[in-house]
Structure 1
Amino acid sequence: MTMQALLLDAVEQRLLRHLDVQFAMMVAGEEPAVMLAAAILSKDAGEGHVCLPLSRLAVDEKMPPALQACFALLGDAVDWQEILLGSPAVSGADTGTPMILVGERLYLNRLWRNELTVARFFSETNAPLPCDEAQLRQTLDALFTSDDATDWQKVAAAVALTRRISVISGGPGTGKTTTVAKLLAALIQLSGEQKCRIRLAAPTGKAAARLTESLGGALQKLPLTGNQLALFPNEASTLHRLLGAQPGSQRLRYHAGNPLHLDVLVVDEASMIDLTMMSRLIDALPPHARVIFLGDRDQLASVEAGAVLGDICTYASLGYTAERAQ
């Protein structure tokens, strides 16, 4: 049997989708190994995986017989690096081929570009911001009055006030909304006469409504003037609405060439944001914008490929440098 026939047999057994096989046939030509790799890559992307480690391109005893037959057709000792890079459908990073091979990981081109955008944003954009430390301490001391040895809500606010990007993760009832309310109040107070354009967003309409209600309630308990309260938006929007998504189209009103009009963006339920949406959001941000991501890394994972918040939070255990902690 040909690889195409074996893959179609796997579709009949619901191990692959018709989409996976059509993609493989379109990009692989007559090369059976590339066809198999492309089909599995497409399948994994559909299941929420960003890339395919080459180590998975091997027969496994637990693998269904239909997929074992696909690998058996290729024989033993397949050099996946050589075969894939020898295909016109695959190349290294920053090229226009349908698939990208980076080290031992195979990507769909779109997901590779999205991952690169997100990685650069979080690694290159988050340098410390200049601030008046004495004024910052005074403002935070007035808003956070906990007697605990370490007030982690205050720590989160301090980090967010001194960086362009911050991530506040915690389970229900841990005070994320209260923290961000006090954080925004501090930011407004520290901005003085310079008005901050603040926007609130969440992945879904339900999450946006909850953010509007909870943040509105928290703000009323803070020592803010009427003019300061007026700087807060009346409601949160969905990310699609924020970016100006158009029904029936992939085009967005806001993008790198037409960035969002804001200074501060608060995004709730950030664990639900997939890699593609995160990339689009980043593209639409003006260079000076601060972004505060709220969420619970252990809940509400994204449906599409890429669990961005969860991946970022894996580095939380590294803690702070001594200088940063001080």
Structure 2
Amino acid sequence: MSLVDVETAVTAAGLLRSFNEAGVLDLADVHVAQRLCALGRETDDRVALAAALAVRALRGGSVCVDMSTIAEAADGLPWPDAEQWLTAVRASTLLADPPVLHLYDDRLLYLDRYRREEQQVCDDLVAMLVPRPSGPTAEVPAFERLFPPGFEEQRGAAEIAVSQGVTVLTGGPGTGKTTTVARLLAALAEQAELAGRSRPASRWQRRPARRRRGWPRRCDTR
């Protein structure tokens, strides 16, 4: 048995078989799409291909497939006509209630579970975007010690972080992202201790707590 035989879905036919044999779809993509279509009583070959490509996108690290551009990924294959393909997907039982697939903005196709999880992450982040009381440097006196002259950019990032519920810290290699987070955590831990919000842990909790305290300690400039 050759490698091609192992990677080819024996039961695949039509578009699924063509894209499987071309190496665009893996065995898992084909089998999941076949199973979903069987459960949803979906017989349209184009919908099966769309479902398989949505599974393929997950393997590649994306939660959806862009149906408006996916045909550009591989030439020489029997891609369905773009408009007719979208029409078939829109009319599919797999988008009915309860949905298996979800088409967003008439182009992004998700397995519905991942669309719901993405929406939940979005909702959680939006809920956290609540401004906090101003004046973070006054509330966190350790900033002066932990961010001495020469660390202005890192201090600015830390000040923004304590002023809001969620922050995305970005930067190239060596720009101080890890140092900023470590010193920010050290400052917040000190602030909590001074405010009486830090309590002794039970014996079984102290050991991991000591391990966690180890890495902020490296940024202590006292």
* TM-score past 0.5 threshold: yes
**Percentage identity across paired residues of the two chains:** 28
Is it true that 1:169 corresponds to 2:170 in the alignment?
A: yes
- Which of 82, 87, 101 matches 2:87? 82
Task: Report the CA distance shift for 1:25/1:142 in structure 2 as closer, same or farther (over 3 A).
Answer: same
- What does the per-residue CA deviation read over 1:4-52, in whole Å, with 9 as the maximum and x for residues that have no partner? 2342243234221122112222233211221121122222221112211
| Residue correspondences, number | 194
Higher strand share: 1
Task: Report the CA distance shift for 1:79/1:43 in structure 2 as closer, same or farther (over 3 A).
Answer: same
- Counterpart for residue 133 of structure 2: 130
- Counterpart for residue 262 of structure 1: none
Task: Report the CA distance shift for 1:147/1:43 in structure 2 as closer, same or farther (over 3 A).
Answer: closer
Secondary structure of residue in 2 paired with 1:107 = strand
Structure 1 unpaired stretches of 5+ = 198-210, 224-326
Query: Counterparts in 2 of 1:129-168, with a 5 A limit?
Result: 129-130=132-133, 133=136, 135-136=138-139, 138-147=141-150, 151-168=152-169
- What does the per-residue CA deviation read over 1:141-193, in whole Å, with 9 as the maximum and x for residues that have no partner? 23322157xx1110121122222222323344333333223212321333321
Query: Counterparts in 2 of 1:62-211, with a 5 A limit?
Result: 63-65=74-76, 68-69=77-78, 71=79, 74=80, 76=81, 78-91=83-96, 96-103=98-105, 104-130=107-133, 133=136, 135-136=138-139, 138-147=141-150, 151-191=152-192, 192-195=195-198
- What does the per-residue CA deviation read over 1:103-138, in whole Å, with 9 as the maximum and x for residues that have no partner? 121111122112112212222312112355562364
Please give the alpha-carbon distance, in whole angstroms, between the structure 2 residues aligned to 1:80 and 1:196: 60
Contact 2:183 2:216 survives alignment (8 Å): no
Secondary structure of residue in 1 paired with 2:196 = coil
- What does the per-residue CA deviation read over 1:59-83, in whole Å, with 9 as the maximum and x for residues that have no partner? x5x7343xx23x3xx5x56334432
- Counterpart for residue 19 of structure 2: 10
Structure 2 unpaired stretches of 5+ = 1-11, 201-210
- Output the TM-score relative to the length of structure 1: 0.51
Residue identity opposite 1:188 in structure 2: A
Secondary structure of residue in 1 paired with 2:103 = strand
Point out 4+ residue stretches in structure 1 off by more than 6 angstroms.
Answer: 211-214
Residue identity opposite 2:83 in structure 1: V
- Output the TM-score relative to the length of structure 2: 0.72
Is it true that 1:47 corresponds to 2:49 in the alignment?
A: no
RMSD: 3.1
Bigger radius of gyration among the two: 2
Please give the alpha-carbon distance, in whole angstroms, between the structure 2 residues aligned to 1:120 and 1:217: 34
